[in-house]
């Protein structure tokens, strides 16, 4: 086919769409079903209605091919587990008794059985349920959901393409089932899994599928030769089937690297590649393998992960280059639109001019359609769209919101000295000891205390105007009094104010920084029925006024003991927001860091001797490819230091992260140069303490001794044992005593009991020193 006819055939499609509906109907129906208020049939019909209306919208917007099977009651990886019959033993009976009830039991657990583990879907903020596999796993095909959804879409007269998690990615995302040795590699089950996929593909073909998409995002991560061989084998086998639809193998979130030649040579009819961000490297790599002669290329040129309008001319030039490289070029978003909110036009509170810079799922779909149209019929067919796009891009680039000269000048003037403490750790630690006068094994908490229904109600009342600012602030102060007095009575050494004023640790700060937007309806699925509304870092960031000083100072006024200031770090601010795509992440991080640095300075000036800067997202933001990690860690640790190093030697900087193993980033943690770090460790029996010791970590650390993810209250003996274990790795002069994480999700009774036990444990172990 010539480039010209490849263009003429260009079609528009996407791989997936937000599931919840305009008014979060799916969340309401599923939660209603859990509570017994909504029957199974009503839930099914709500879901079918949502699917229908989504497909109609997509088709009306001009998509030529709609995705099916991407819908989920909870999670598409769990749906794949059902599709291949890999139901864990402990859930078998429940699933056999009632498929829907059993499905939710796997997702959420029951009184009797634990749910599947949940973890992050690549580097997004979506969480999937981890398949549990072992040498004894027997796969059986269950194509019912996929076939039913395809049939529904075809019945609407649409051209539809089922989307499945590919076999290689499915196995690479799995973990050994309980009781299976940790060394077991799920990928060794590939031969057993392929016949099941073959059956599903045959069923889908019989149901009318011309194409089926197999998603293999795991292939954008670094893969061993054996894993690449498995991918080669997988698509040789599936491609060699006679009774099957055409296969489109999709990748997204990064470049394919060594997997590109493998897939390019595979006997499948099409590849979908991401051409945004770091994945733009796919373009040269594709040319280097001689393109995809005879194949369909689906080009992900509209970023499916950010909220910004596309640069349509730039995408058209990418598409133009791609035309010479494949038999047929179609246009898509880079990944499923699951990761962006539904519709920017619903954001009535955002200034209309700025709203024009935003593209959520609906707007991105329109962009894909425009690009396909331009490719097929020439730019003359979309002149108005291109002109509007150019105007909106220019308005964004020239806006004082995205270009604040003062912020830019300050960021440009940052020197290396600004990112270093004035004294080395040994000297400043002596100064801190003298100032704070803490006992050995000092006790503290991670920041938040229980977020009670009363507090949430007060916030809702404030928003609704039922409570004035004064009344709300009194309510917060009363809560702080209670939290301080509890900590004093219990005998905790370094206190916190409890964070009662925070709806969320990122949103709270974003609302007070310039350059940040909040959305009203910008919900994005985090997991199951949990949706979050990430702030949008839209412009240059600065801090017009102190953000936390008022509450920390108030707390400090109530006690002689040190109260720890509490901030969210720059990397976490970025990780849990939508970030700009018009400048490097490192630049945004530096602006946020400078704003936070001012807050740190104000806290110090107000007499705060201990300041904690939380960075729970430092590790989860690691780039998918190892080659990109050093550069990331360099700017990320620099941003943390820029936030924290402007203080006097005798001001103690804490940081906190929530994971129990971090062998791969322990050097980066060292590079933060924080005086004290608290980490999750209770469930892993202080694993983190051993990792720090093995690295020769020179500063203080608080491996958690209270697992806050569970309502269980650890006994004082148990906490003391953990401390003794910790002492084998970290000397008493550098060991802190604290819970794993914040207490906001816990109730007061268990929090009280657990912290009393924690203090008792610290006292017992101190007396043994």
Q: Which residues lie near ligand GLN (CB under 6 A)? A: 446-448, 499, 505, 566, 614, 616, 656, 658, 741-742, 744
Phi-psi category of residue 277: left, alpha or beta, with phi > 0 → left and psi -120 to 50 → alpha: left
Structure tokens given for 369: 């359609």
Let me know: does 653 contact 674? Beta carbons within 8 Å.
yes
Report which of 259, 257, 260, 237 is spatially closest to residue 247, judged by C-alpha positions.
237
Whole-number minimum distance, CB 485 to Zn ion, in Å?
24
By C-beta, is 259 or 741 nearer to Zn ion? 741
Q: How far apart are CA 487 and CA 178, in angstroms?
A: 39
What residue 447 binds from ligand GLN, Zn ion, none (CB within 5 to 8 A, per partner kind)?
A: ligand GLN
Provide the angle, in degrees to the nearest 10, between the axes of the packed helices 716-729 and 748-767. Answer: 50
What residue 540 binds from Zn ion, ligand GLN, none (CB within 5 to 8 A, per partner kind)?
A: none
* Cα distances (angstroms) measured from residue 18 to each of 70, 71, 304, 362, 528: 9, 8, 11, 10, 12
* Position among 173, 332, 541, 741 found at the interface with Zn ion (CB under 5 A): 741
**Local structure of 692: helix, strand or coil:** helix
Rounded to a whole number of angstroms, the distance between the first and last alpha carbons of the chain is 80
By C-beta, is 341 or 616 nearer to ligand GLN? 616
What residue 744 binds from ligand GLN, Zn ion, none (CB within 5 to 8 A, per partner kind)?
A: ligand GLN
DSSP 187: G
Instruction: Tell me how crowded residue 46 is: count the other CB atoms within 10 A of its CB.
Output: 19
Q: How far apart are CA 529 and CA 437, in angstroms?
A: 47
* Position among 658, 681, 701, 720 found at the interface with Zn ion (CB under 5 A): 658
Let me know: does 244 contact 198? Beta carbons within 8 Å.
yes
Residue with tokens 């704003």: 595
What residue 515 binds from Zn ion, ligand GLN, none (CB within 5 to 8 A, per partner kind)?
A: none
Phi, psi of 312 (to 5 degrees): -65, -40
Q: How far apart are CA 359 and CA 63, in angstroms?
A: 16
What are the binding residues for 5-methyltetrahydropteroyltri-L-glutamate? 24-27, 120, 576, 620
Give the footprint of Zn ion on residues 186-245 (CB under 5 A).
Answer: none
The number of angstroms, rounded, from the C-alpha of 202 to the middle of its chain's C-alpha atoms is 35
Whole-number minimum distance, CB 267 to ligand GLN, in Å?
47
By C-beta, is 370 or 612 nearer to Zn ion? 612
Bridge partners (DSSP) of residue 498 are 448
Q: Is 91 a catalytic residue?
A: no
What residue 448 binds from ligand GLN, Zn ion, none (CB within 5 to 8 A, per partner kind)?
A: ligand GLN
618 lies in the site for Zn ion, by CB under 5 A: no
What are the binding residues for Zn(2+)? 656, 658, 680, 741
Q: Which is catalytic among the residues 127, 497, 695, 709?
A: 709
Let me know: does 539 contact 554? Beta carbons within 8 Å.
no
By C-beta, is 214 or 495 nearer to ligand GLN? 495
By C-beta, is 312 or 741 nearer to ligand GLN? 741
Whole-number minimum distance, CB 698 to ligand GLN, in Å?
23
705 lies in the site for Zn ion, by CB under 5 A: no
Structure tokens given for 240: 């060699």
What residue 374 binds from ligand GLN, Zn ion, none (CB within 5 to 8 A, per partner kind)?
A: none
Whole-number minimum distance, CB 708 to Zn ion, in Å?
8
By C-beta, is 184 or 508 nearer to ligand GLN? 508
Binding span for Zn ion by CB under 5 A among 24-32, 232-240, 266-274, 609-617: 609-617
By C-beta, is 65 or 620 nearer to Zn ion? 620
575 lies in the site for Zn ion, by CB under 5 A: no
Q: How far apart are CA 51 and CA 79, in angstroms?
A: 16
Whole-number minimum distance, CB 130 to ligand GLN, in Å?
21
Residue 477 CB contacts under 8 Å (≥ 6 apart), including other chains:
554
Q: How far apart are CA 709 and CA 744, in angstroms?
A: 10
What are the binding residues for L-homocysteine? 446-448, 499, 614
CB closest to ligand GLN, residue no: 742
For Zn ion, the binding residues (CB under 5 A) are: 616, 658, 741
Query: Which residues are marked as active site?
Result: 709
């Amino acid at each position: 086919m010539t480039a010209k006819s490849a263009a003429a055939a260009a079609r528009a499609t996407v791989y997936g769409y937000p599931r919840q509906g305009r008014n979060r109907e799916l969340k309401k129906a599923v939660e209603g079903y859990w509570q017994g208020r909504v029957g199974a049939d009503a839930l099914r019909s709500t879901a079918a209605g949502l699917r229908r209306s989504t497909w109609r919208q997509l088709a009306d917007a001009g998509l030529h091919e709609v995705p099916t099977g991407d819908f989920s009651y909870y999670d598409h990886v769990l749906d794949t587990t059902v599709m291949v019959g890999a139901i864990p033993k402990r859930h078998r009976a429940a699933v056999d008794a009632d498929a829907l009830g059993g499905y939710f039991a796997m997702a959420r657990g029951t009184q009797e059985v634990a749910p599947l583990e949940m973890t992050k879907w690549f580097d997004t903020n979506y969480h999937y349920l981890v398949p549990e596999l072992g040498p004894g796993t027997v796969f059986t095909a269950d194509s019912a959901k996929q076939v039913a959804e395809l049939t529904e879409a075809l019945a609407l007269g649409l051209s539809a393409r089922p989307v499945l998690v590919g076999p290689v990615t499915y196995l690479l995302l799995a973990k050994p089932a309980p009781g299976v040795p940790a060394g077991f590699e799920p990928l060794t089950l590939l031969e057993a899994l392929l016949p099941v996929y073959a059956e599903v593909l045959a069923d889908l073909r019989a149901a009318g599928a011309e194409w089926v998409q197999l998603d293999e995002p795991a292939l954008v991560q670094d893969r061993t030769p054996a894993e690449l061989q498995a991918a080669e084998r997988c698509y040789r086998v599936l491609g060699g089937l006679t009774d099957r639809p055409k296969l489109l193998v999709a990748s997204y979130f990064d470049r394919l690297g060594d997997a590109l030649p493998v897939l390019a040579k595979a006997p499948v009819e099409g590849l979908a590649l991401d051409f945004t961000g770091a994945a733009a490297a796919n373009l040269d790599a594709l040319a280097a393998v001689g393109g995809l002669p005879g194949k369909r290329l689906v080009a992900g040129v509209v970023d499916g992960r950010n909220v910004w309008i596309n640069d349509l001319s730039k995408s058209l030039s990418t598409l133009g280059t791609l035309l010479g490289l494949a038999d047929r070029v179609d246009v898509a978003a880079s990944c499923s639109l699951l990761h962006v909110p539904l519709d920017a036009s619903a954001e009535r509170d955002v200034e209309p001019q700025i709203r024009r810079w935003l593209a959520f799922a609906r707007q991105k779909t329109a962009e894909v359609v425009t690009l396909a149209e331009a490719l097929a019929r020439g730019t003359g067919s979309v002149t108005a769209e291109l002109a509007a796009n150019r105007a909106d891009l220019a308005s964004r680039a020239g806006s004082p919101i995205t270009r604040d000269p003062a912020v830019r000048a300050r960021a440009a003037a940052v020197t290396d000295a600004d990112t270093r403490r004035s004294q080395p750790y040994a000297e400043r630690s002596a100064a801190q000891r003298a100032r704070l006068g803490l006992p050995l094994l000092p006790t503290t908490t991670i920041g938040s205390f229980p977020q009670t229904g009363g507090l949430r109600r007060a916030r809702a009342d404030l928003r609704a105007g039922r409570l004035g600012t004064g009344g709300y602030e009194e309510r917060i102060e009363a809560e702080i009094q209670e939290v301080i007095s509890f900590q004093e009575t219990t005998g905790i050494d370094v206190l916190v104010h409890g964070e009662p004023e925070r709806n969320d640790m990122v949103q709270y700060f974003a609302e007070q920084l310039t350059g940040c937007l909040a959305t009203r309806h910008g919900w994005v699925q985090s997991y199951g029925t949990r949706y979050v509304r990430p702030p949008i870092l839209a412009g240059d960031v600065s801090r017009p006024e102190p953000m936390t000083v008022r509450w920390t100072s108030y707390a400090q006024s109530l006690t002689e003991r040190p109260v720890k200031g509490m901030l969210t770090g720059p990397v976490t601010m970025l990780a849990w927001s939508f970030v700009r795509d018009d400048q490097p992440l490192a630049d945004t991080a530096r602006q946020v860091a400078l704003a936070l640095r001012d807050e740190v300075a104000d806290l110090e000036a107000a007499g705060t001797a201990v300041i904690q800067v939380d960075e729970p997202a430092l590790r989860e933001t690691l780039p998918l490819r190892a080659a990109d990690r050093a550069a990331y860690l360099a700017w990320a640790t620099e941003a943390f230091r820029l936030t924290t190093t402007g203080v006097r030697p005798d001001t103690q900087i804490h940081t906190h992260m929530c994971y129990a193993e971090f062998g791969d980033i322990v050097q980066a943690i060292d590079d933060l140069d924080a005086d004290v770090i608290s980490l999750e460790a209770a469930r892993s029996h202080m694993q983190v303490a051993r990792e720090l010791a093995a690295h020769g970590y020179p500063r203080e650390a608080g491996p958690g001794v209270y697992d806050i993810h569970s309502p269980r209250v650890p006994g004082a003996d148990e906490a003391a044992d953990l401390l003794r274990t910790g002492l084998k790795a970290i000397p008493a002069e550098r060991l802190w005593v604290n819970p794993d994480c914040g207490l906001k999700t816990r109730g007061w009774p268990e929090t009280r009991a657990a912290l009393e036990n924690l203090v008792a444990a610290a006292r017992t172990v101190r007396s043994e020193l």
